[in-house]
A = this chain, B = another copy of it.
Amino acid sequence: MKNQIKKVVLAYSGGLDTSIILKWLQDEYKCEVLTFTADIGQGEELESAKKKALSLGIKEENIFIKDLREEFVRDYVFPMFRANAIYEGEYLLGTSIARPLIAKTQAQIAIQTGADAVSHGATGKGNDQVRFELGYLAFNPDLKIIAPWREWDLNSREKLLAYAKKHKIDISKKKGKSPYSMDANLLHISYEGLVLENPANPPEEDMWRWTKSPKNAPDESEIITLEFQKGDLIKINDKKLSASKLLEKLNELGAKHGIGRLDIVENRFVGMKSRGCYETPGGTILLKAHRAIESITLDKEATHLKDELMPKYAKLIYNGFWFSPERIMLQALIDESQKYVNGKVKLELYKGNVSVIGRESAKDSLFNAAYSTFEEDEVYNQKDAAGFIKLNALRLIIAGKNGRKF
């Protein structure tokens, strides 16, 4: 393959690893390299990625920088939260949900620039390689994919640094850069490696970059109101903002109150278990609030059907199948359920806790106190319950009369 590649689009962060990859692609594949840097809210300066690319000999017209923040939250994060998606009971899929958008945009740049290949900096043991590559192939099945970590022999920190030195790539560490392996975007930050490699170890307090520790969070709680329309957040404290601004605002609130830290061992798609720590301040609030607005507006069986399908939906996203017929089918089902999910949720934030303290929906609440209290109401005749129970029990009664024991 090496001699056949003419032009490759690299997912480029401006960091050391992808800078080494950039150089390595030029050297090994002797091909033109284009860089693509997406702003999905990772909080790094895009300008410096551009300078770095220029310094590594990339032509200005070959440097692509895109602000994907609004698209990311509107078309990826929000649809996923309609499903209340959680992987393995805990993980809010912060990394997983960003990869398809990056892959799609990168594939589109490849198509538009006539590139025949794409490349990324994900390692050969992780989930991200799968998510990137499934995304590329779903968009352009003819793209060649270069995954340097699976190809080269720079398989240790030392070899990488030696390679960088040899090729005059700046290896000076950014001040304050985390020693952990991290991923960040508008939804979350993840941490892997170092002390985390032993799941018996707690994370170090100074690992966390975003949220306050619950212990250092304000002693006063804060009450906020979130408003939803068709299952999507549209206002915080009655203020309408764009999707990405809403999530930014939620993140700020969550981070301040020590909300959204998570420390888990998860099962990677490629088969092994891995330890990760996550900060998802806004997402943690959003999930709680979305469940709460659904609790008064969504039909019972719609709720249960969503709950039963959620693990499958979350797994698809985790495994990289965002762009797949089955995810799109499930999304159609989920979106269909959200048309009446309108209303407001009041939440109290306090030292790591998100508590729902009120929910209302002017038009779409299915809750009616008259129905649930034990007194009479217009729709419910208590005598009906006898027949309901009797027929629900019928098969058990027949089995019992037949001598079966439970």
B367/A379 in contact, CB under 8 A = no
Supply 7 A–B pairs (Cβ within 8 Å), ascending by A.
A123-B382, A150-B382, A199-B295, A265-B296, A329-B334, A384-B388, A385-B387
Say how far A99's CB is from chain B's closest CB, in angstroms. 13
Copies per complex?
4
Chain B residues, Cβ within 8 Å of A70: none
**Does A138 belong to the interface (CB within 8 Å)?**
yes
Partner of A268, one of B198, B200, B372: B372
**Which of A37-45, A109-117, A129-137 binds B?**
A129-137
B-contact 0/1 string along A72-97, CB 8 Å cutoff: 00000000000010001110000000
- Of A4-12, A60-68, A300-308, the one with at least 4 CB within 8 A of chain B: A300-308
Q: Is A323 an interface residue (CB 8 A)?
A: yes
Stretch of A21-29, A182-190, A240-248, A354-362 at the chain-chain interface = A354-362
Is the pair B125, A382 in contact by a Cβ cutoff of 8 Å? Answer: yes
Verify B391–A379 contact, CB threshold 8 A.
Answer: no
Partner of A397, one of B376, B379, B398: B379
A54 at the interface (CB under 8 A from B): no
- Give the docked Cα–Cα distance between A123 and B140 (Å): 28
B326 and A332 contacting across the interface, CB-CB below 8 Å: no
Least CB distance from A121 to B in Å reads 11
Partner of A90 from B198, B291, B390 at Cβ < 8 Å: B291
B contact residues around A271 at 8 Å (CB): 300, 380, 391-395, 398
Bitwise interface map of A from 178 to 207 toward B, beta carbon under 8 Å scored 1, else 0 = 000000000000001100011111110000
A156 to B142, CA, bound (A): 26
A-B CB proximity, top 10 nearest:
A387-B387, A271-B394, A124-B382, A384-B387, A141-B400, A202-B357, A267-B300, A323-B406, A197-B369, A274-B372
Q: Contact: B359 with A199, CB < 8 Å?
A: yes
- With beta carbons under 8 angstroms apart, the residue of B147, B295, B304, B380 that contacts A394 is B380
| Contact segment of A168-176, A231-239, A345-353 | A345-353
Judged by a CB distance under 8 angstroms, whether A139 is at the interface is: yes
Contact of A399 among B291, B299, B305 (CB under 8 A): B299
Q: How far is the CA of A300 from the CA of B269 in the complex (A)?
A: 9
